[in-house]
Amino acid sequence: MKTGEKETVSLLITGAWVLTQNPERKIFSPGAVAVRGAEIAAVGPPDELSERYAPAQTLDYPQGLIIPGLINAHTHAAMSLFRGLADDLPLEEWLNSHIFPAERHLNGDFVYWGTKLAVAEMLLSGATTFCDMYLWAGQVAQAAAETGIRAVVGEVLYDFPSPNYGPPSAGLQYSEELCRTWRDHPLVNVAIQPHAVYTCSPDLLQQCGELAARFDTRLIIHLSETHREVADCEAKYGATPVGHLHKLGLLSSRLLADHGVVLSEADMNLLAASGAGVAHCPESNMKLASGIAPVVDLLAKGVPVGLGTDGCASNNNLDLLQEMDTAAKLQKVHRLDPTALPATQALDLATINGARVLGLEKKVGSLAPGMQADLVVIDLDRPHLTPIYDPYSHLVYAAGGADVQTVLVHGRVVVRDRRILTFDLEETLARARELARSLQK
Amino acid sequence: MKTGEKETVSLLITGAWVLTQNPERKIFSPGAVAVRGAEIAAVGPPDELSERYAPAQTLDYPQGLIIPGLINAHTHAAMSLFRGLADDLPLEEWLNSHIFPAERHLNGDFVYWGTKLAVAEMLLSGATTFCDMYLWAGQVAQAAAETGIRAVVGEVLYDFPSPNYGPPSAGLQYSEELCRTWRDHPLVNVAIQPHAVYTCSPDLLQQCGELAARFDTRLIIHLSETHREVADCEAKYGATPVGHLHKLGLLSSRLLADHGVVLSEADMNLLAASGAGVAHCPESNMKLASGIAPVVDLLAKGVPVGLGTDGCASNNNLDLLQEMDTAAKLQKVHRLDPTALPATQALDLATINGARVLGLEKKVGSLAPGMQADLVVIDLDRPHLTPIYDPYSHLVYAAGGADVQTVLVHGRVVVRDRRILTFDLEETLARARELARSLQK
């Protein structure tokens, strides 16, 4: 479609800066992104794009910093309804006396509204894709589709009965149906998600691996999160969790290991050789006192590392801008090296690396022609972001989720000037309060 | 003054919760604070206070969480103009190639506007008191007084010439004049602030101690921030920095040690015995890779520990809500103990403990009759703060500075619904941008 000399596009969005996160890490200042339907048509100087394109809509942010939508590589979205229910406790007491009893009240309605609540928070803090592991994953998918956020969802699978699908054997069938139902959805992807090596038999793990291969999708598992998990696995199977998966033939580029805190040199080499990815969750690992993941070492070995918030019961927010800050600082103090995990790499974790560990690197994570139009505008007109010398530094070390102004997912404006356009936030907050009251009874 | 049966007060502010931080950690839900001039007249249930008082003004926050104003126990406010100028570098390169050269361009105007910029950020993120160490401390005091924030200011003193006061000998005189000038100001307090044991001779340190004693004010110094500082001090003086101050007779309840990262058991015992305080700056210590301060051990020994952000060049923001979160999580992962530094203690650091290390515990840090009316309203009507089970948990683990809605300092509404009422924010941002441009030339 041409209008005179110009091609018609759906949207032209301009800002003071565009950080593309393309392979050359090209920056435009000022910069613009032309959007054609769900896709990015072009990224470049505003003048140049204005000459080439006739946009149906324009969004102009003279003090905006435009970045790729952030990618939350590991969370349990519906746990937003458990935020602050119990904190600062020993892990066993936290799980057995608080989280597991609360989860016994779970149902599909709870998961649906909890996920919508989390989506509101994620969109308003710049996440455009999240990878979720939880029960009633069909409801998670439904909530994602309705709210217009991109998601990788998966039903959590283990050796004991689930309040959702019932007996363990039904879990694989539920997952398979989930794969079929959402196969062609533009926003929702389904992964196979066994919970952990301490809750899944080798047999279940292998069946999960086969199902993931059959549907050519990700196999996602909590792996090497705590010292206790590693010690127990070694005692039971004579191998670390990574070694255990290796022996089961499950290490591959299809695998995403959530947490990856307690990793030996041999574990890291196995992950690197297999092409598997890691979802790093620094704030959860700190709050639960699990330990500090060897992110710098993993990256040096070529293991792709994404960034996740984990669920709200162990963080307690879903703010990836804050998570990048913590990730960078935690590696520095852990290694006593201020050059460790610089701001540019921290942003990589939450963008291109996140896309890669989820198998979405050809769709999202960077701003380039042909990529899906998932992007975020950060408002720089704030005291804590004024003046600006280095946009990477401000993003990682100074900004917070509340500085997000406008968000596009799949070419659609889902947040504009901090208002959610795709669903009723007030209704979601009201339902969340109701569900919390019923939980407390 | 009575109106009928009721006493007239200047303001009655009500919220869904009031966390008093009084010795019993009393919570009112709902709660209200009655303000008479600069002071708190009463704290209690809204009904009860409405019956007792006739307020000239009312502020009603049905979804507000009211807390004492937060206290930033250590910063260099004007460094807001250096935020993002250089990051992720080895400490010596960062200081010698970036920060020190930038500081050679300092002048009083730069410090005045840089401080106002920082005050805007601090007020909008809930800090009502800050303790500042920098050059041109008179300009810092001026900026604090004009903007209506509470401050402890001090000119940084060392053995070499200062671009402000000139030769080293003039520094003490400058400090003394500062003490006299601001002696009766309701918001501004002056402290004596030698930079560190590696930049100040024993003679200068002792003169500083005498001056602080003469004006009965705080003696504040960067102390035991890095391993290198400790090693150098041991080599030069045969003592750790804490031991060195002890030998100089400078350890007392008047002393505030900034950072206190690298502390031996003996150091901690000396601090505890003396009554000295520590300003803990976890995010700066992480970003500069200094190490992790033994906060839990210090608190167990009875050393009061406040919370500071340090300057914007090493954090890079002044958000104490985020700093509390990091402080709590860092102790947990450092000790591999999820019960370490729980949310209630993290809030103590930024309120009552901050007041105590600054010698202001009879004025601020808690909400009680007779205390100064420094308080903050957090807006709970946000996705990431809904639902609420535990206000301490939300404050520390989920909220951020941007959730601050309204702020009172000394009984005056300085921020209302996120608008600064006491000075022109736009002018400050414009001046900050100008100064940054001149710096880059």
Q: What is the 3-class SS of B184-220, one letter each residue? A: CCCCEEECEEECECCCCCHHHHHHHHHHHHHCCCCEE
**Residues A118, A80: contact at Cβ < 8 Å?**
yes
- Give me the amino acid identity at B220: I
* A chain contacts of residue B118, beta-carbon cutoff 8 Å: 383
Give pLDDT tens digits for A302-334.
999 999 999 999 999 999 999 999 999 999 999
Contacts of residue B322 in chain A, CB cutoff 8 Å?
322, 400
Contact B94, B379 (CB under 8 A): no
Beta strand extents in A322-395 (DSSP E only): 375-379
pLDDT band (50, 70, 90) for residue A3: low
Burial class of residue B419, CB neighbours in 10 A (0-12, 13-18, 19+):
exposed
CA distances to A133, A292, B89, B147, B289 from B99, rounded to whole Å, are 45, 30, 11, 27, 17
Q: Which of A291, A329, A383 faces B287 most closely, judged by CB atoms?
A: A329
Burial group, residue A419, by CB count within 10 angstroms (0-12, 13-18, 19+) = exposed
**Which has the closest alpha carbon to A241: A272, A202, A289, A275?**
A202
In the predicted structure, residue A2 carries a pLDDT above the cut 80: no
Q: Tokens 């990574």: give the residue.
A: A242
**Are the CB atoms for A353 and A299 separated by under 8 Å?**
no
CB atoms within 10 A of CB A345: 21
**What is the rounded (10 degree) CA torsion for A151, A115, A198, A245?**
0
- Min Cα–Cα distance to chain A from B63, Å: 12
Residues A360 and A30: beta-carbon distance below 8 Å = no
* N- to C-terminal Cα separation, chain A: 59
Query: Is A70-357 in the same CATH topology as A7-68+371-420?
Result: no
Compute the average pLDDT of residues A178-188: 98
Q: Which helix (H) or strand (E) holds A190?
A: strand A188-190
Option in A88, A289, A291 nearest B342 (CB)? A88
Q: Residue A41 above 90 pLDDT?
A: yes
Domain ranges of chain A: 7-68+371-420, 70-357
CB contact (8 A) between residue A383 and residue B117 = yes
CA nearest to B391 within chain A = A84
Cα distance from A50 to chain B (closest Cα, Å)? 28
Cβ separation of A383 and B440 shorter than 8 Å? no
A280 vs A323: CA distance, rounded Å? 10
Question: Tens digit of pLDDT for each residue in B315-373?
Answer: 999 999 999 999 999 999 999 999 999 999 999 999 999 999 999 999 999 999 999 99
- Using CA coordinates, name the residue in chain A closest to B315: A397
Burial of A60 per CB tally in 10 Å (0-12, 13-18, 19+): exposed
Position A203 scores a pLDDT of 98
With contact defined as beta carbons under 8 Å apart, do A349 and A324 qualify? yes
Q: Report DSSP state, residue B69.
A: P
pLDDT of residue A441: 79
By DSSP bridging, strand B70-75 and strand A219-223 are unpaired
The number of beta carbons lying within 10 Å of the beta carbon of residue B378 is: 28
Q: For residue range B224-247, what is the model confidence (pLDDT) as tens digits?
A: 999 999 999 999 999 999 999 999
The reported pLDDT for the residue numbered B439 is 87
Q: Using one digit for the tens of pLDDT, what is the confidence trace for A136-170?
A: 999 999 999 999 999 999 999 999 999 999 999 89
Q: What pLDDT digit, counting tens, does each position of B262-289 carry?
A: 999 999 999 999 999 999 999 999 999 9
Number of residues assigned to chain A: 441
A291 to chain B: closest CA residue: B333
- B375-379 and A2-3 beta bridge pairing: unpaired
Q: Is the pLDDT of residue A430 over 70?
A: yes
- Which of A197, A285, A209, A205 lies closest to A241, judged by CA? A197
Supply the Cα-derived Rg of chain A in whole angstroms: 21
Task: Name the nearest CA neighbour of B66 among B10, B126, B23.
Answer: B126
Contacts of A340 in chain B (CB under 8 A): 289
Question: pTM for the whole thing?
Answer: 0.97
Residues B242 and A440: their CA atoms lie apart, in Å, by: 50
Section B365-392 average pLDDT: 98
Take residue A64 and report the two structure tokens written for it.
């905006």
Element holding A416 (H helix, E strand): strand A412-416
Task: Give the model's pLDDT for residue A100.
Answer: 84
Close Cβ partners of A13 (under 8 Å, ≥ 6 residues apart): A32, A33, A35, A58, A59, A60, A61, A66, A375, A377, A406, A408
> Token pair for residue B203?
């003679």
Tokens of B297: 């051990």
pLDDT confidence tier of residue B3, bands split at 50, 70 and 90? low
The partner residue sitting opposite B400, judged by closest CB among A120, A390, A400, is A400
Q: What is the pLDDT of residue B92?
A: 82
* Closest of A132, A149, A156 to residue A185, by C-alpha: A149
Q: B276: closest CA among B301, B305, B292, B255?
A: B255
Can you tell me the distance from the alpha carbon of A157 to that of A172, in angstroms, rounded to the nearest whole number? 8
pLDDT of residue B400: 98
Closest CA to B200 of B221, B231, B179, B218: B221
Structure tokens that stand for B22 in this block = 């009084």
Q: Judge contact between A349 and A388, C-beta under 8 A.
A: no
pLDDT at B2 over 70: no
Render pLDDT for A104-127 as a digit per residue (tens, 0 to 9): 889 999 999 999 999 999 999 999
* Shortest Cα distance, chain B CAs vs residue A318, angstroms: 8
The answer to whether the bond into B315 is cis (omega within 30° of 0) is: no
- Give the pLDDT score at B246: 98
Q: Is the ipTM of this complex over 0.90?
A: yes
Asked if the Cβ–Cβ distance from B333 to A285 is below 8 Å, we say yes
| Coil vs helix vs strand at B422 | coil
CATH architecture of structural domain B70-357: Alpha-Beta Barrel (3.20)
Rounded Cα–Cα distance for residues B174 and A420 (Å): 54
The yes-or-no verdict on residue A102 having pLDDT over 90 is no
How many Cβ atoms sit within 10 Å of the Cβ of residue A308?
A: 31
Query: Counting every residue, how long is chain B?
Result: 441
Q: For B150-161, what is the mean pLDDT?
A: 97
B220: number of Cβ within 10 Å: 30
Q: Which residues pair with B415 in a beta bridge?
A: B407, B420
* Kind and range of the H or E run holding B11: strand B6-19
* pLDDT at residue B292 is higher than 70: yes
Which of B120, B332, B343 comes nearest A289 by C-beta? B332
Classify domain B7-68+371-420 at the CATH superfamily level: Urease, subunit C, domain 1 (2.30.40.10)
Which residue from A91, A154, A148 is spatially nearest to A119, judged by alpha carbons?
A: A148
Share of chain A above pLDDT 70, in %: 99
Q: Give the pLDDT confidence of A343-358 residue by residue, as tens digits.
A: 999 999 999 999 999 9
Could you count the other beta carbons within 10 Å of the beta carbon of residue B426? Answer: 9
The verdict on whether omega for the bond into residue A316 sits within 30 degrees of 0, i.e. cis, is yes
Average pLDDT for B287-303 = 98
Chain A residue closest in CA terms to B328: A287
Count CB atoms within 10 A of the CB of residue A236. Answer: 11
